[in-house]
Amino acid sequence: MERAHPFQTDDSRLHPIHAKVVARERLTADDALALYRTGDILAVGWLANSVRERMHGDKTYFNVNRHINPTNVCVAACRLCAFGRKKDSPGAYTMALEEAFKTAASGYSEAVTEFHIVGGLHPDLPFQYFLDLISGLKERFPHVHLKAFTMVEVAYLSKRAKLSVSETLAQLKAAGVDSLPGGGAEIFSDRVRHIICDHKIDGNQWLDTARLAHQMGLKSNATMLYGHVENDDDRVDHLLKLRALQDETRGFQTFIPLAFHPEHTALQHLAKTTGMLDIKQIAVSRLVLDNFPHIKAYWQMMTAKIAQIALRFGADDIDGTVVEEKIYHDAGATTPQGMRREELMRLIREAGRDPVERDTLYRPVIRDEMAVTVAV
């Protein structure tokens, strides 16, 4: 592989990794650790960018989506989270169904192609509320893809409804869920999970739920929350577990590394991640997750400026218009709540990449003045 700028590094640990990347060989846990531990960010970026361009050329994906968070009431009380509230706490809210439908219709006039629906683990809302929410949205917005409920929510709903996880997923799918977002994965390590989210399902349960969803034909994303109390080994363990499941199911579409935002959480004494770590995390993800089609630089979490740079360090997706973001803004994010389509395209173009509007399943979206169609 000869590129305009040849690969160069003074870090001898990276030479065998370069050879593997060129030969399209799988990286090991030790390779991943070497990538995390090197100071040569440009060499890591060169490697990740070469894989990114091999897979996608200059194409950079974005979508026109809207987030809907039906409730912030949550029994989990995760130390990592600033969004969840106890039922009777100030600021707790739960949308009536009509309110959720109104929220879905509000915001930008640009026709959305995806609703991203996640919320808290509500102790009283019946499973039927979620089925009615999904079927009501499908009825009102038949062309919008419903990417709804993390593995954590699905596992909790199954407990509340006294159904198996498979049956819960089957009913959600029948109601209109089209795919699942990647949240709730955090870090699979038990040691870290005990500190940041000890009442959530454990890593194996998250992976088992994803496996079942994939076996049912539902695609999903996967995330990793980094920049809190985890170490390099925990991150590598997380990536390798996702890679192993992807070998089995091929059901993951996109990996989204999420930088921890400490403000207003029980871990607010921790320092924020730096731009260097954010960029390196994108690059290592691209290199280790060789079977994941896409790596997303979620602009709401990284800031638009860092996300733009990430497009040259392994990322091929920047997420979407979002319209209204709550989880990161409750934790101190200073990014705008949403971004217009034109602005996303400008960011991508200025990074020297070609913007491609996609639907949730990465089919190109063709727009004209009047209509939105998805090329199949």
Which residues of this protein are in contact with ligand V47, per CB under 6 A? 80-82, 150, 181-184, 186, 221, 223, 225, 256, 258, 260-261, 265, 298, 319, 327, 331
Q: Give the containing element (helix H, strand E) for 191.
A: helix 190-196
- From the CB of 350, what's the least distance to ligand V47, in Å? 22
Between 182 and 314, name the residue whose CB sits nearer to ligand V47.
182
From the CB of residue 233, how many other CB atoms can be counted at a distance below 10 Å? Answer: 13
Between 31 and 186, name the residue whose CB sits nearer to ligand V47.
186
Between 184 and 355, name the residue whose CB sits nearer to ligand V47.
184
Which class for 277: exposed (0-12), middle (13-18), buried (19 or more C-beta within 10 A)? middle
- DSSP E strand stretches across the chain: 59-63, 65-68, 114-117, 145-148, 179-180, 219-226, 252-259, 294-295, 317-320, 354-357, 365-367, 372-374
Between 176 and 183, name the residue whose CB sits nearer to ligand V47.
183
Between 176 and 227, name the residue whose CB sits nearer to ligand V47.
227
- From the CB of 323, what's the least distance to ligand V47, in Å? 13
Question: What is the C-alpha to C-alpha distance for residues 247 and 332, in angstroms, rounded to an integer?
Answer: 37
Letter for the amino acid at 170? A
- From the CB of 220, what's the least distance to ligand V47, in Å? 8
Question: What is the C-alpha to C-alpha distance for residues 84 and 327, in angstroms, rounded to an integer?
Answer: 9
- From the CB of 80, what's the least distance to ligand V47, in Å? 5
Between 47 and 302, name the residue whose CB sits nearer to ligand V47.
302
Q: How many helices (H) and strands (E) does the chain have?
A: 15, 12
* Pair 97, 116: CB distance under 8 Å: no
- From the CB of 234, what's the least distance to ligand V47, in Å? 14
Structure tokens at 29: 């846990």
- Give, in order, the Cα–Cα distances in Å from 101 to each of 71, 113, 146, 291, 373: 13, 15, 13, 37, 23
Between 16 and 108, name the residue whose CB sits nearer to ligand V47.
108
Between 296 and 353, name the residue whose CB sits nearer to ligand V47.
296
Between 221 and 335, name the residue whose CB sits nearer to ligand V47.
221
Select the residue whose beta carbon is closest to ligand V47 and give its number. Answer: 183
- From the CB of 361, what's the least distance to ligand V47, in Å? 12
- From the CB of 6, what's the least distance to ligand V47, in Å? 35
- From the CB of 313, what's the least distance to ligand V47, in Å? 19
* Pair 283, 247: CB distance under 8 Å: no
Question: What is the C-alpha to C-alpha distance for residues 256 and 154, in angstroms, rounded to an integer?
Answer: 19
Task: Report residue 236: phi and psi, to 5°.
Answer: -65, -45
- From the CB of 108, what's the least distance to ligand V47, in Å? 17
State whether residue 86 is helix, strand or coil. coil
Sheet containing 294-295: give its strands across: 65-68, 114-117, 145-148, 179-180, 219-226, 252-259, 294-295
